[in-house]
A and B are shown apart, each in its own frame.
Chain A
Amino acid sequence: MSESEAPFCLVSRRVSEGAARPGLVYRDKPFARDDSGWRIFAGDEEGAFLANPDNTHLVRLEALSALHPDLEPLLAARTGSAFERDQEGRWRDVSEEGQADWERAGKRARKVDNHR
């Protein structure tokens, strides 16, 4: 199964139980065959909430994007991608935010390598 077809994502219960909409989402390296790598958070979760592993759980991507259709266009993004809602509620690509020049340079070099 390719990463893009993997059905599950790891979701904060604040999102999956409807208390908040997704506000910070990113695609990590998958930890299992069925894991798409997507991590979905409201973005306002507190430390004690995040420290409890019961507060994040695996959900099918299709079920989550049915609940939050504006996630759908993001889900094809590559591993390492991150998106955050701005104040108007629009998704903003923050994948390279906070990276040093050498990190960006390394990633560009790897992309070139991957296409050889």
Chain B
Amino acid sequence: MNTTPLHAPMALTPEQAAIRAGAEGPVMARCMETLVRYGEAFGAPRLVPIRSAHLTGSFKIFFYTAYYKLVSELVEAGIKVKVPTTLNPRPGYDYRPQNRILFRSQSWHEEQLEALGVTPNYSCVCYAYDNIPEFGDRLGWAESSAIIYANSVIGARSNRNAIMIDICHAVTGLAPEFGFLLDENRKADLHIRLQIERMDAAALGFLIGKIAMDRTPVLDYWPFTPAELKNMGAAMASTGGVTLFHVAGLTPEAPDLEAVTGGRPIETHTITQADLDALKASRQMQKESAVIAFGCPQMTLEEALEVGRHFAGRTLKKPVLFHLVPGAYDAFIETETGQACLDAGIEVLQHCPLAALSLRIGIGKQQVLTPSGKLHYYLEGAKYADMADILELTGAVA
């Protein structure tokens, strides 16, 4: 195999070079080597310290063999993460006999990760509870929905890293300096004009991802809420490879269009109300759905309260699932709104809807209706509807 770097070799500090040479054992040497090769492939000149890591490898359901092996070797070597490190959601519960087999090794995997010192937050919305970065922080995160939020809404800096790379970030506390860690790669190169009367942020993100692909869009000003920014970014990072977006006059690196484009002319694309409405499943398809799933990414407390208040005192016309950040679960069910949701029959859950629904109903079953652009994209067969349609369909509003 030709191992010649595509770019100039990275300049390592003596300490980094020693780890690469095996000073902290063979498994740490492999993690450092992985980061060096990753960085060199993208032309990174050096490794830089990171504020935190976030791992996407929270599932143990017969995939990612090399990752589980690496985690085991790190645990056996007594390695701990060097920076605060959080973890993606659990894949569900052992509802069924066959899930019991899967979840026995899930428990084993969770014990391994916790032995590394990982915070057992089990949430893709780490940035709102257990791993809150600040403007300008450099991060070594995986999980595209978390990365795009941290980059765009907080102004922290992470590349769109993958499983395996994320754990290497966590145990070294370092990331190669390239891509979205650098000022010059954070300007917008696509202008999204909005001709919209009724905002549907998840649908907008879904459409922008397909248009932008791996570019950085800047949207016209709209007074998006944090939950809308979360759901829009997650959809954008699903249908496209978008890692950073700006909203002129709202997000921290976009005081105005001029500043975020650097004054350069950029391509413009207009999204209209008709474009958003076209993403919705037909009324007939909506009626045929078996279950409504909220929370991909998981719902924050504020979001669950905002959606949940519509269900107080209502009788559900369709089964409804809320997927909450585990850190918000207790607080939610202790509220009047949370109790009202439980009384109405809503299942309030704390895991990954994508994995759990795949395990519960199988892939490709057209049973799920969701206002999540991300779940609509990834859960094969899931249909999309906006919040207004869903609230009407479930009986939350007349």
Contacts and interface: CB of A to CB of B under 8 A. Distances in A.
Interface string B76-118: 0000000000000000001111111100111111010000000
Given A47-B104, A48-B108, A28 B98 contact: yes
Given A102-B290, A102-B291, A106-B365, A97 B97 contact: yes
A97 to B, nearest CB: 6
A82 interface: yes
Majority DSSP secondary structure for residues of A touching B: mixed
B362 A29 contact: yes
Interface stretch (B1-9, B60-68, B230-238, B249-257): B60-68
Interface residues of A, number: 29
A26 B290 contact: no
Contact of B319 (A29, A100, A110): A100
A45 B360 contact: no
A99 B71 CA distance: 33
A39 interface: yes
B285 interface: no
A71 B304 CA distance: 47
A84 B101 CA distance: 12
A82 B96 contact: yes
A56 to B, nearest CB: 8
A84 B108 contact: no
Contacts of B41: none
Given A80-B362, A103-B360, A105-B290, A94 B104 contact: no
Interface string A23-53: 0101011000000000101010111101101
Interface in A81-110: 82, 84, 94, 97-103, 105-106, 109-110
Contact of A98 (B97, B290, B362): B97
Contact of B367 (A46, A82, A99, A102): A102
B14 to A, nearest CB: 37
B259 interface: no
Nearest to A26: B98
B397 interface: no
Contacts of B99: 98
A84 B97 contact: yes
Contacts of B97: 24, 26, 82, 84, 94, 97-98
Contacts of B365: 106, 110
